Amino acid sequence: MKTVDSKLTDVQVTDNFWSNYMDVVINEVIPYQWAALNDQIPDAPPSHAIKNFRIAAKEEKGEFKGYVFQDSDVAKWLEAVAYSFETDPNPELEKTADEVIDLIGRAQEESGYLNTYFTINEPDQKWTNLRDHHELYCAGHMIEAAVAYYQSTGKRKLLDIMSRFVDHIDSIFGHGENQLPGYPGHQEIELSLVKLYRVTNNKRYLNLSKYFIDERGKTPHYFDIEKQKRGDEKKPWWTDEYGSYSYHQAHLPVREQKEAIGHAVRAMYMYTAMADLASETNDQTLKEASKRLWENVTQRQMYITAGVGSMSHGEAFSFDYDLPNDLCYTETCASIGLVFWAKRMLNLEKDSQYADVMERALFNGTISGMDLDGKKFFYVNPLEVWPKASLKRKDRIHVKHERQKWFNCACCPPNLARLITSIGHYVYSADQNEAYVHLYVGSEGELDIGEQKVKIVQKSNFPWDGNINITILPEEEAVFTIALRIPGWSKGAILKVNGDVIDLNDDVKKGYAYISRKWRKGDEIHLNLPMTIEKMKAHPNVRGNIGKVAIQRGPLVYCLEEADNGGNLPSIYLPLNSQLNAHFDKDFLGGMTVITGDAERLDDYGWDEQLYQPAESKRKPTRIKAIPYYAWCNRKPGEMLVWINEKS
């Protein structure tokens, strides 16, 4: 298997933490989602996705059901399946996937067009509403599935199907005679076209991606042009100071955009494509725009869990420092998109700030979207939950206090499955004569460095323990560089090679420790990253977190749950000098490090029936237990809290 975006071949994940997640996805989630796609899960919203393809292929009669983007659920399932084969070949599952691909081929029209909604429901309305109808979005996800399946199995059928569809798309869009000067309402195809270009070496696909990025935000706005053609007089549901364009990040040309705005997932996918194109074409203006938007998202609009998109209306960014804990949206797909973007920014520039955010998202805001057994899911990932408010208040209707079996709009579960099964793609990269270790994930990987393959074996008990052991196994002795990320959360890291201490003051550049030497087979690197418990504060402009702290250890953000700490969690105060202790509990939720310590709680003893009375501070000692945020809501549903009142 040859990955797309680096000189990396075949990473086998051996890490206990991620291997467990991969096993859950392979053994539970992928079969569960296959059942969901075939409407076989009792008491869950029907998908109808596979049946739509059968109807489009004229093998069954019936009507299209589901959202206009229902095809994308099948694509993401196929992509997750493809990545799973890299670590767990499964002939029976591969046979099922091949049959799905055959079905997709039979549903493809003679022109190359492929979309079950329009084939079944509105064959005369293709490409008439790019703003709302997700044709290019669905194409993008199917392209990603085709690339992944080709890479993991060597089979070209889906790749050829999608190349044929992209050839058709390329004939439809552009500035030539009878072409449409349009671009998608939901970005996705842009990043997938870069992937397709890398495996086919067909530059038309790269140019088509660049075309969609370059066209976005130009005036007159194409969404208005197509709206006039349709005779559509309705006002778009999404309006702000930019009209309806900002929801789609079409309010300005992408190179002029300075802040994240609009639908968060769309933004993440677009920013990913921008960084990819900047890397492939050496476009400095796209690189500068990508870095500018990165700074805005990660320094002004990102939760400590790496959740993005704070506003439920439009599943969108709102404004700088607006990060409410109990109302936030923070869609699972948005954090997944942030991982994609971070990886592409690392391709642009080796700077640990990108890998730090990638790690934060992977260990917090993404996997919180699935319970530990892979059978229930969160669409929304809040940082504070009061179940009664979620059930009664309309402004919190999106905030669930327990995970759901499935969703009518089921984009998040298959998106998370494809991310987890591809985790090996995020650990390493190689650039000429340098190898980079971005994530500390137990694994065995081969990288092309110089003129030879170099095997890297990484062992650790991360994220519970910061001791990392890496063995370097080149085919022959050679001089090259190994660069290891020193995480931003780490204080006092110690690095050794074959027992000799490396001075991190001299060799760290942009958060990476560069070790250049003649490497021999069996050379050992030991990196110790102290796992200090930190009480984190938010910027003073984050109003909801003034006077509060969050607990973090290593890359993990912690939370309080009612199951351990009782109800009314906002009544708990954490003293400034409180001693917090971490210990690994092998019997707790499958084994994880929990944090305990002394705190105080408001004492309501003696409070009479009056709703208000003169202020009087009464607190009593209490003990708290904090668990990793990703693991909340795996017991009896109840309150949850990340940001805790601080007592000075």
Closest CA to 136 of 289, 266, 293, 4: 266
Residue 102 maps to a domain: yes
Q: Which amino acid is at 483?
A: A
- The tally of domains found in the chain comes to 3
Residue 2 maps to a domain: no
The last residue of a domain, from among 403, 426, 449: 426
If DSSP states are collapsed to H, E and C, what string results for 431-448?
Answer: ECCEEEECCCCCEEEEEE
Distance CA 489, CA 554 (A): 6
CATH code for the domain in which residue 483 is found: 2.60.40
Q: At what angle do helices 264-281 and 189-200 cross, to 10 degrees?
A: 30
Both 415 and 459 in one domain: the answer is no
**CA atoms lying within 13 Å on the CB side of residue 94:** 15
**pLDDT < 70 regions, the chain:** 1-9, 237, 239-243, 405-411
pLDDT digits (tens, 9 = 90+) for 37-57: 998 888 777 889 999 999 999
pLDDT at 10: 79
CB atoms within 10 A of CB 395: 10
pLDDT at 5: 41
Distance CA 367, CA 365 (A): 6
Q: Which amino acid is at 335?
A: S
Residue 291 maps to a domain: yes
Closest CA to 304 of 648, 641, 646, 647: 641
pLDDT at 411: 66
CB 52, CB 58: distance < 8 Å: no
Could you tell me the residue range of the domain that residue 572 belongs to? 533-647
Please report which residue ranges of 57-202 form alpha helices under DSSP H: 71-87, 91-107, 116-120, 135-153, 157-172, 189-200
Which residues are tagged catalytic?
A: 315, 411
Q: Which amino acid is at 461?
A: N
Distance CA 523, CA 35 (A): 47
Distance CA 246, CA 251 (A): 5
pLDDT at 403: 73
Both 477 and 592 in one domain: the answer is no
Residue 3 maps to a domain: no
Q: Map tokens 């110089």 to a residue.
A: 450
Question: Strand, helix or coil at 214?
Answer: helix
Q: What is the mean pLDDT of the chain?
A: 93
Both 278 and 137 in one domain: the answer is yes
Residue 133 maps to a domain: yes
Both 370 and 434 in one domain: the answer is no
* DSSP for residue 509: E
User: Please, which residues have CB within 8 angstroms of residue 399's CB and are 6 or more apart in sequence?
Assistant: 326, 327, 380, 382, 385, 389, 390
User: Please, which residues have CB within 8 angstroms of residue 326's CB and are 6 or more apart in sequence?
Assistant: 382, 383, 384, 385, 386, 389, 396, 399
Both 407 and 471 in one domain: the answer is no
Both 518 and 557 in one domain: the answer is no
Distance of CA 378 to the CA centre of its chain: 13
Q: Which amino acid is at 501?
A: V
Closest CA to 396 of 377, 376, 412, 380: 380
Both 475 and 599 in one domain: the answer is no
Residue 503 maps to a domain: yes
The last residue of a domain, from among 364, 393, 426: 426
For residue 533, the surrounding DSSP H or E stretch is: strand 533-536
pLDDT at 237: 66
pLDDT digits (tens, 9 = 90+) for 463-492: 999 999 999 999 999 999 999 999 999 999
Closest CA to 158 of 110, 100, 206: 100
Both 491 and 636 in one domain: the answer is no
Distance of CA 165 to the CA centre of its chain: 27
pTM score of the predicted model: 0.96
pLDDT at 404: 74
Question: Strand, helix or coil at 206?
Answer: helix
Burial class (CB in 10 A: 0-12, 13-18, 19+), 65: middle
pLDDT at 178: 93
For residue 212, the surrounding DSSP H or E stretch is: helix 203-215
Both 620 and 502 in one domain: the answer is no
Both 328 and 454 in one domain: the answer is no
Both 545 and 638 in one domain: the answer is yes
Residue 415 maps to a domain: yes
Both 580 and 454 in one domain: the answer is no
The last residue of a domain, from among 406, 426, 446: 426
Burial class (CB in 10 A: 0-12, 13-18, 19+), 14: middle
CATH code for the domain in which residue 304 is found: 1.50.10
pLDDT at 408: 57
* DSSP for residue 312: T
Which two tokens mark 41? Answer: 């899960």
Q: How many residues does the chain have?
A: 648
Residue 1 maps to a domain: no
φ, ψ of residue 452 to 5 degrees: the values are -145, 165
